[in-house]
Amino acid sequence: MSILVIVLAVVWLGLMAYGRSKPLPNGLSLEGPPRVAPKVEFLVDCTYQQAGRPVCEQTIFKRMCGIIDGAERFVLLDLFLFNNIHDQGEKFPTLSDEMARRLVEKKLRSPQVDIVLITDAINRTYGADEPEHFRRLRASGVRIIYTDTSKLRDSNFIYSSWWRLFCQWFGTKGAGWLPSPFAPDGPAMTIRGYLSLFNFKANHRKVVVNEKEALITSANPHDASAYHSNIAIVAQGAVVRDVVDAEAAVASFSGEDLPKWVIPVRPESGKVSLRLLTEGKIKSRLLQSLALCGSGCSVRMAMFYLSDREVVSGLLEAAARGAEVRLLLDPNKDAFGRRKNGIPNRPVAHELVEKSQGRIQIRWYGTHGEQFHTKLTMISLPGQTVLIGGSANLTRRNIDDLNLEACFEVTAPADSQVVQAAAGYFERIWRNQDGVYSLDYRQFSEKSSVKYVLYRFQEWSGMSTF
């Protein structure tokens, strides 16, 4: 018996080490070449208070639908949350059904247009139940590809090594019988589905692209996320090909191939350039820009989750060199009707303020049940501004080659339209222009050694949802 225990322990430790560092599938962790962009748009969804009443301004979903409607050759979507799972006692806009309807109508109206949806297994409750709107998509000719996240590295590596050893062989398909973890009346799950869920790995990308333009966003077409505040960047030109190639890589390691679509590209000139970043290259490019920050530079960050240790260090070092650093953070108190404990943002915020001796300024977004789901960093350097925005939170799981993520990095003069739009968005929130958006740091400041230790353990181990 003791020999068996030793053998299992050795195998478990070996799987743990392998799961943390195994080779990534081809085409992941991409730093695309800089592309001159003929047109770049910055879009926002904003929920805030005005004269004591909630206001919800939205542009991103409409723009997504416009890309679908305007396609002539193909529509390719890579969407994390695309479902209507929520407490049915609460009312939300039916984003998932509306997007499915748009896709079905597009296929019926233009049958020659290929439509491919890449998505995460969360939308079929990890094998137990494919949602009705996905069945409608399939029936209309839309191709659905579920991402094979088992090919990704393990973020929750202590658990995942055990799961690989004992559980993965049984699959996840079958009729669910356990209550949903996502909503009281959500689709039932199998115990194997729960065991798969606890790996906490995902295709977290949010991409919509046709042959003419590509949109990368922090927003999901998910009913319960409808009121979240989000951003999106839309680009045209050669970067469209880069986005399609990056999505083809996901399809490929998931056992599918995408058609070789023709994407017309013409030579462009201009002062605005952008590149596609995925997975770990999001962090490496962000750290490179932060390392250039000193006196006369500024960092403006609007973020749902901030916890990655290298990014925290990069912010502190930039502030120490004299850069102005301002952060707009979600207080991490709301999650689809559930109360959260403020981890990771509150302990991280306390660390940043204390260690910078107040040089790093922080304000909280004033959420009222919804989330400040934005993922945007603006770094103003001499002669140019760098924007990095898209699906990725700044956590180990999101930017350390674990989850699948996609962002655009835009490099442009400070007076360019896209930089002015992004800067105007940040300042509007920071200064509460025409409404109440953000709150003083003291509103949710929290000095808790217990929460800080818990955050550091969760960030290191992956035993968390951030």
Q: pLDDT per residue over 82-110, tens digit each?
A: 999 888 878 899 999 999 999 999 999 99
Residue 169 has pLDDT above 90, yes or no: no
What does the alpha-carbon distance between residue 395 and residue 87 come to, in Å, rounded to a whole number? Answer: 28
The 10s digit of each residue's pLDDT in 141-168 is 999 999 999 999 999 999 999 898 888 8
Tell me: do 348 and 448 sit in the same domain.
yes
Domain tally, the chain: 2
Q: Letter for the amino acid at 102? A: R
Phi-psi region for residue 383, left (φ > 0), alpha (ψ -120 to 50) or beta? Answer: left
Tell me: do 80 and 215 sit in the same domain.
yes
Range of the domain at 211: 32-253
Let me know if residue 374 belongs to a domain.
yes
Q: Which residues pair with 76 in a beta bridge?
A: 116, 209
Tell me: do 86 and 232 sit in the same domain.
yes
What does the alpha-carbon distance between residue 306 and residue 360 come to, in Å, rounded to a whole number? Answer: 14
Q: How many other C-beta atoms can be found within 10 angstroms of the C-beta atom of residue 256?
A: 16
Tell me: do 293 and 349 sit in the same domain.
yes
pLDDT band at 463 (very low <50, low <70, confident <90, very high): very high
Tell me: do 238 and 309 sit in the same domain.
no
Residue 338 has pLDDT above 80, yes or no: no
**Of 187, 221, 253, which residue constitutes the final position of a domain?**
253
Tell me: do 40 and 182 sit in the same domain.
yes
Overall average pLDDT of the 407-421 stretch: 97
Rounded to the nearest integer, the mean pLDDT of the chain is: 95
Share of the chain above pLDDT 90, in %: 82
Let me know if residue 146 belongs to a domain.
yes
pLDDT band at 27 (very low <50, low <70, confident <90, very high): very high
Quick one: pLDDT at residue 135?
A: 96
Tell me: do 188 and 39 sit in the same domain.
yes
Asked which of 1-5, 11-15, 393-397, 454-458 is least confident by mean pLDDT, the reply is 1-5
Asked which of 122-131, 189-198, 331-340 is least confident by mean pLDDT, the reply is 331-340
**Are the beta carbons of 48 and 437 closer than 8 angstroms?**
yes
Quick one: pLDDT at residue 90?
A: 85
What does the alpha-carbon distance between residue 127 and residue 129 come to, in Å, rounded to a whole number? Answer: 6
The 10s digit of each residue's pLDDT in 273-318 is 999 999 999 999 999 999 999 999 999 999 999 999 999 999 999 9
Measured at the alpha carbon of residue 432, what is the angle toward residues 429 and 438, in degrees to the nearest 5?
60
Q: Name which residue leads in pLDDT, 68 or 173.
A: 68
Residue 347: DSSP 8-state: H
Let me know if residue 313 belongs to a domain.
yes
**Of 197, 220, 253, which residue constitutes the final position of a domain?**
253
Which range has highest mean pLDDT (123-127, 206-210, 340-344)? 206-210
Integer-rounded Cα Rg, in Å, for the chain is 22
Quick one: pLDDT at residue 141?
A: 97
Asked which of 120-124, 169-173, 222-226 is least confident by mean pLDDT, the reply is 169-173
Tell me: do 323 and 456 sit in the same domain.
yes
Let me know if residue 303 belongs to a domain.
yes
What does the alpha-carbon distance between residue 201 and residue 143 come to, in Å, rounded to a whole number? Answer: 23
The per-residue b/e assignment along 132-154, b for 16 or more CB within 10 angstroms, e otherwise, is ebbeebeebebbbbbbbbebbbb
Alpha-carbon distances of 323 from 30, 287, 356, 431, rounded to whole Å? 29, 14, 11, 20
Tell me: do 89 and 221 sit in the same domain.
yes
pLDDT band at 337 (very low <50, low <70, confident <90, very high): low
Let me know if residue 263 belongs to a domain.
no
The CATH number of the domain where 424 resides is what? 3.30.870.10
Q: Name which residue leads in pLDDT, 206 or 266.
A: 206
Burial class of residue 434 (count of CB atoms within 10 Å of its CB; 0-12, 13-18, 19+) = exposed
Overall average pLDDT of the 29-49 stretch: 96
**Of 218, 253, 288, which residue constitutes the final position of a domain?**
253
DSSP H helices, 229-279, are 239-253
Overall average pLDDT of the 410-437 stretch: 97
Let me know if residue 323 belongs to a domain.
yes
Quick one: pLDDT at residue 9?
A: 84
Tell me: do 240 and 283 sit in the same domain.
no
Tell me: do 315 and 457 sit in the same domain.
yes
Tell me: do 50 and 89 sit in the same domain.
yes
Quick one: pLDDT at residue 1?
A: 65
Let me know if residue 431 belongs to a domain.
yes
The 10s digit of each residue's pLDDT in 206-264 is 999 999 999 999 999 999 999 999 999 999 999 999 999 999 999 999 999 999 998 98
Let me know if residue 334 belongs to a domain.
yes
Q: Name which residue leads in pLDDT, 178 or 175.
A: 178
The 10s digit of each residue's pLDDT in 344-360 is 999 999 999 999 999 99
